[in-house]
Amino acid sequence: MHPRLPLPEASDGDDLGGFLAWLREAIPQVTHYGIHSPAWDATTLHWKVALDANLNDKGTGFGGALAGETTLLGWCWTTLWLRARGRAQDVVIAEGQQRFLAPVTTDYHMQCFPLEADGIARLEASLAEKERGRIKLVQRVYCGDTLCMEAQGSYAVLK
């Protein structure tokens, strides 16, 4: 087992570039994904991804890389949401599914947000009561305006 790299302290306005740098060191696979330009807007986490880092034999986005990136995006959403509330708890994916809708043929952008309108409130209540909880998130992959993939995941916040 490898030593765990501690999550950096959260700061005002959270430094997403610093978080991404930590992520690349903590999870070496992330360095190969071509992720850049993370942004947080209210309840949605966005990032851009270079296609050339994720090509398959057909010259389009490799489904395994896309699945990994959507899983990671949901984990990051949950981790960053917790950090903004001063909570340093472990997050794991409990369940996930993907639908591939169109080939990824160019650099792409991804977004992640809660599946259910009351998802954040339910997670907050569960954390207050049990110090653990779950949230269902949606991750979408776009080439320009074309929705190429949609994933959903249930993320568990551990005690």
For a pLDDT cut of 70, what percent of the chain falls above it?
92
Residue range 137-150, pLDDT digits in tens: 999 999 999 999 99
Average pLDDT over residues 24-47: 93
Say if residues 81 and 142 touch (Cβ distance below 8 Å): no
d(CA 62, CA 66) in angstroms, rounded, equals: 6
State the virtual CA torsion across 57, 26, 90, 139 in degrees, nearest 10: -30
- What integer pLDDT is reported at residue 109 of this predicted model? 98
Q: Does domain 16-157 correspond to CATH entry 3.10.129.10?
A: yes
Contacts of residue 148, defined as CB under 8 A and 6 or more positions apart, other chains included, come to: 61, 100, 101, 102, 103, 104, 108, 141, 142
- What integer pLDDT is reported at residue 103 of this predicted model? 98
Domain boundaries, the chain: 16-157
Find the DSSP H helices in the chain. Answer: 16-26, 63-84, 119-130
Average pLDDT over residues 7-19: 71
Secondary structure class of 93 (helix, strand, coil): strand
Q: pTM for the whole thing?
A: 0.92
- Would you place residue 12 in the very low, low, confident or very high pLDDT band (cuts 50, 70, 90)? very low
